[in-house]
């Protein structure tokens, strides 16, 4: 019985560790792709910034005004 509970504990901890590492790998791959998408969305304006955590894409107009195209920044 003890061996089984230790095995279950090891599997549980392994899954938690994998989830933490996996999310960081996903971010390293997805962030540059999302940023390039933001740059494409700013095709008539100048690219200003992109924030991955809030999924906020900002562009700058010709007169220097910063415009938020999309994102969860205000929520």
HEC string of 26-48 equals: HHHHHHHHHHHHHHHHCCCCEEE
User: In this structure, is residue 35 part of a structural domain?
Assistant: yes
Answer whether residue 1 shows pLDDT above 60: no
**Counts for the chain of helices (H) and strands (E), in that order:** 1, 3
Domain coverage including residue 57: 2-70
The reply to whether 75 falls in a domain is no
Which pLDDT does position 59 carry in this prediction?
96
Please give the pLDDT value at position 75: 52
pLDDT in tens, 2-22: 777 888 888 877 777 777 666
* Residues 41-52: tens digit of each pLDDT: 999 999 999 999
Question: Is residue 57 domain-resident?
Answer: yes
Q: Does residue 15 belong to any structural domain of this protein?
A: yes
Number of structural domains in the chain: 1
């Amino acid at each position: 019985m003890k061996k089984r509970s230790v095995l279950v504990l090891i599997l549980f901890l392994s899954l938690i560790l994998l989830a933490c590492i996996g999310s960081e790998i996903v971010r390293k791959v997805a962030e540059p792709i999302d940023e390039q998408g933001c740059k494409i969305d700013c095709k008539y304006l100048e690219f200003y910034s992109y924030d991955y955590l809030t999924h906020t894409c900002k562009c700058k107009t010709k007169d220097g005004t910063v415009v938020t195209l999309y994102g969860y920044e205000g929520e």
